[in-house]
Structure 1
Amino acid sequence: MMKMFFFLFFMIPLCFKKKMFWLVQILMMMMMFMFMNLTISIENYCNMSYMYSFDMISYGLILLSIWISMLMLMASENLYKNNNYLIFFKLNILMLLLLLMLTFSTMNLFMFYLFFEGSLIPTLLLIMGWGYQPERIQAGMYLLFYTLFASLPLLLGIFYIFNSTNLLMIYLLKFYNMDFFLLYLSMILAFLVKMPMYFSHLWLPKAHVEAPVSGSMILAGIMLKLGGYGMLRVMIFLQEVNFKYGIFWVVISLLGGFYISMKCFTQVDLKSLIAYSSVAHMSLVIGGIMTMNYWGFMGSYILMIGHGLCSSGMFCLANINYERLHSRSMFINKGMMNFMPSMSMWWFLLMSSNMAAPPSLNLMGEISLINSLISWSWMTMIMLMMISFFSAGYSLYLFSYTQHGEYNFGIYSFYMGNSREYLLLLLHWLPLNIMVLKMDYSMIWFS
């Protein structure tokens, strides 16, 4: 693992050269392929250096982090053109990627907490530094205080675990069983807010709407996955207590997912609609993890990776429209098929992945999660039917509203999509639909 961190460290001097913007992105892609070719064991941790290592869960999420960070640079060409604090922007993305890779690869619970919280700071700087409206300050504060308020109990929980076991290695904690409600609540709350679960989701649409495209991509692509990753890790030693109280979280997340799906139909802001659809998808992930069965763990992991690519691509599409029309309102973003017929295909492809159509990873994840939740209780079938139906509904609503109909006569003229934008969308869509061919890697890591 250390060679990857050193690769990132030595990329830092390149950030200080103005003309090195695309080189940084190419090096990230190179790093991605280097990481893909590392030896990976399905059962155990591998490539261990000091206390950094990865298993199958970390592997997929680290790959996703590098990939999305690379695409963030590709999507932010406007910053490059306008020279909008470019050096600091590149530095910020590198720091964020470093913190995310450390979060996913550390084996120590306290270090996990440290990097988990540390990744909040570059995200906050992205929103407050490169956001569009003055409300970005308020959105940044929401993000900061929601996350920090829920994270303090997590820190106390980690201290309690160390005090009672003299041990903080995530791998070794699986031999312990901690049947203690307060510890359970404190360990899990921070991750539920980060996911975000319904009732603690208010920071997410705000942060998305105010963030620049790169901020939205990293928030949707990776930051929500930190919560799921943390839950997959701590559930191992909180099994017994979760069997008693897991039902509360399943009920809240499924009812919340249904309600948020309905709320998507009332949105008039493109980004807001995509952000709310993220909350609806993450509610299924929470339900899957809380059922504590094999299908649930598999499905949540697959859906997290699928949603990371799909949601990030949808924010790119919203930004492509925003760069031309300077508005995210759905009343102005109408009839885009007249202007950008080729882009319309990408809207269709990403929307179909968002509603879990084959052959996307979202479909595989949702099938596993539906299996998991219905085997846990047949009554969840009602809410799952609703969530699946309405997720297709709001995806179609978004597609038909933006692509069809009469275009706004206030639009005078603008250029169609350029090759960079089509490549950006292809690099979101291709892994999302090609990885289905290697589902065995995602399905058998949990021995």
Structure 2
Amino acid sequence: MRDKKMLGLIFTLLLIGALHVMFIPRENSIKLKLAALQWTLATLTATIILWISFDGEGQFQATQIIEWISSTTDLWSSGMVVFAVDGISIFFIILTALLIPICILISWNSIKFLLKEFLLCLIFLEILLMGVFTALDLLLFYILFEGILIPMFLIIGIWGAREEKVLASYYFFFYTLIGSVFMLLGIFVLYSNTGTTDYQTLCGLRLNGETQKWVFMGFFVSLAIKIPKIPFHIWLPQAHVEAPCAGSVMLAGVLLKIGGYGFIRFSWPILPEASEYFAPLILTLSLLAVIYGSLTTCRQVDFKRLIAYSSVAHMGLVTLGIFTHTIQGLVAAIFLMLAHGLVSSSLFIIVTLLYERHHTRLIKYYRGMTITMPIFATIMLLMTLANIAVPLSCNFVGEFLSLLAAFEYSIIVGVLASLGMVLGAAYSLYLYNRVCFGNSSNYIIFSRDVNRREFYTLLPLVALTILMGIYPSAIIDTVKGTIIFQESHTW
């Protein structure tokens, strides 16, 4: 890494941005929004420079070491915690840095009260997410993992759209909090057996099989709730439906990916025997998520709930790729998470654009949007096609590699997983046909097409969706090199 201080710069920019927003008078709403947007865009620029300076060798780079607990005490085996990036985490950092300014733009006129607090929640959420994707200490990962609950709880509970927003925020908070207790117990077991929670040290150790199984079960419950995996998905539709647009974008775009990232980061490198032992169970749950999630999506009448349930099906393909334990399966999981972060986020924004104009999310009230909102209908068509993984879209690359890994593992697993693509095409095309084609709906009096701010908010998501589908090797080569490097050191 040519610039070893770039990771520290990213955190510094966000902290300065938070302080800047904090000291701007509450009455000056335009200045508040512009300040938050400028600092988050500066952070996005820094993450792109970090990627450009990445040398692609696979190992951790841009390492930042911080003295957490004094090394002169006996409280900890090492007083240092390490933050670093590799070919896996770098793309999740960029995705996070991209979605935060998009959240600010899409919420430009919709947040009517406590604007300063809302912007601070978004900035602190970005700081915590950057920490989650770069922390190389399991205890610090857990602390940051739990810290994310606080700003998201506030975003859903305070700025949610409907009456049940408080209930939805408690659903999200307690499901994730209770599940994370099992991860903490797993970390305690690791520490009692090894005397360390340092990630790189643990990767070089070999735990006995029984210990691995107990630790894996603790991690699995926590990460499966975050993904979420059936039957741990109950909180997801409620949280998505009640959250404001920014909350839905961050939930679908980044927070669901922490579960998949945790499986890739911890399960195979630290707990390989347990991962192999539990793989059939997790593959079964993944197939259940793909098929049941898609069938449940087909029967939804609420626009936003439909997209929320489709996330369950797509994330099922992610864990399916991870636990086939093939190079193409792991690459597929990472690529599909990035693709889903772009496509699902844009679909939630599209829902919000309709809701802000007509104040309903029931699909039956919409028809003929191509007549009155042609630009909107074009963007929705592109993202709908990406959602069903047509060629030259980023989802196609991820789903193709995931199904390739599934067929390599078992023909039966591959055939069942393929049903998800068929059902995905069914509910996506039905949704688009119902909303955009036909005569104009009698319930919709006036439909205003997207304005300039809304168009430029969606433009980077649409462009990246197509660009990643046309030129996937820019991501795949970096990810593949990191996975091969990790496996050569852990197997």
TM-score, normalised to structure 1, is: 0.97
Q: Distance in 2 between the 1:245 and 1:443 partners?
A: 24
- 2:48 is aligned to 36
Alpha-carbon shift at residue 414 of structure 1 (Å) = 4.0
Indicate whether 1:258 and 2:260 are aligned: no
Q: What is the aligned counterpart of 1:194 among 226, 230, 235?
A: 226
- 2:449 is aligned to 416
Q: 3-state DSSP class of the match of 2:364?
A: coil
Alignment of 1:61-210 (within 5 A): 61-79=92-110, 82=112, 84-178=113-207, 179-180=209-210, 181-210=213-242
- What RMSD, in angstroms, separates the aligned Cα atoms of the two structures? 1.4
Give the residue type in structure 2 aligned to 1:205: P
Alpha-carbon shift at residue 229 of structure 1 (Å) = 0.8
Q: Distance in 1 between the 2:241 and 2:311 partners?
A: 13
Q: 3-state DSSP class of the match of 2:84?
A: strand
- 1:58 is aligned to 89
Q: 3-state DSSP class of the match of 2:203?
A: helix
Q: Distance in 2 between the 1:316 and 1:228 partners?
A: 23
Q: 3-state DSSP class of the match of 2:423?
A: helix
- Contact preservation (8 Å) 1:278, 1:311: yes
Alpha-carbon shift at residue 282 of structure 1 (Å) = 0.1
The one-character-per-residue Cα deviations of 1:91-115 (angstroms, maximum 9, x if unpaired) are 0100000000011111101000110
- Contact preservation (8 Å) 2:161, 2:243: yes
TM-score, normalised to structure 2, is: 0.88
- Contact preservation (8 Å) 2:21, 2:35: no
Alpha-carbon shift at residue 13 of structure 1 (Å) = 2.9
- Contact preservation (8 Å) 1:173, 1:237: yes
Percent pairwise identity: 31
Q: 3-state DSSP class of the match of 1:56?
A: coil
- 1:212 is aligned to 244
- Contact preservation (8 Å) 1:201, 1:279: yes
Q: What is the aligned counterpart of 2:478 among 429, 441, 445?
A: 441
- Contact preservation (8 Å) 1:177, 1:239: no
Q: Distance in 2 between the 1:398 and 1:415 partners?
A: 20
Q: What is the aligned counterpart of 2:20 among 7, 11, 14?
A: 14
Q: Distance in 1 between the 2:238 and 2:15 partners?
A: 32
What is the number of equivalent residue pairs in this alignment? 445
Q: What is the aligned counterpart of 1:425 among 444, 455, 458?
A: 458
Q: Distance in 2 between the 1:333 and 1:217 partners?
A: 23
**Structure 1: unaligned runs, 5 residues or longer:** none
Give the residue type in structure 1 aligned to 2:218: S
- 2:75 is aligned to none
- 1:5 is aligned to 11
Q: Distance in 1 between the 2:220 and 2:200 partners?
A: 18
Q: Distance in 2 between the 1:406 and 1:127 partners?
A: 36
Alignment of 1:260-409 (within 5 A): 260-409=293-442
Q: 3-state DSSP class of the match of 1:79?
A: coil
**Structure 2: unaligned runs, 5 residues or longer:** 1-6, 66-81, 485-491
Indicate whether 1:27 and 2:56 are aligned: no
Deviates more, 1:409-418 or 1:184-193: 409-418
The one-character-per-residue Cα deviations of 1:195-254 (angstroms, maximum 9, x if unpaired) are 011111111111000000000000000000010111111111111122122101101111
- Contact preservation (8 Å) 2:327, 2:480: no
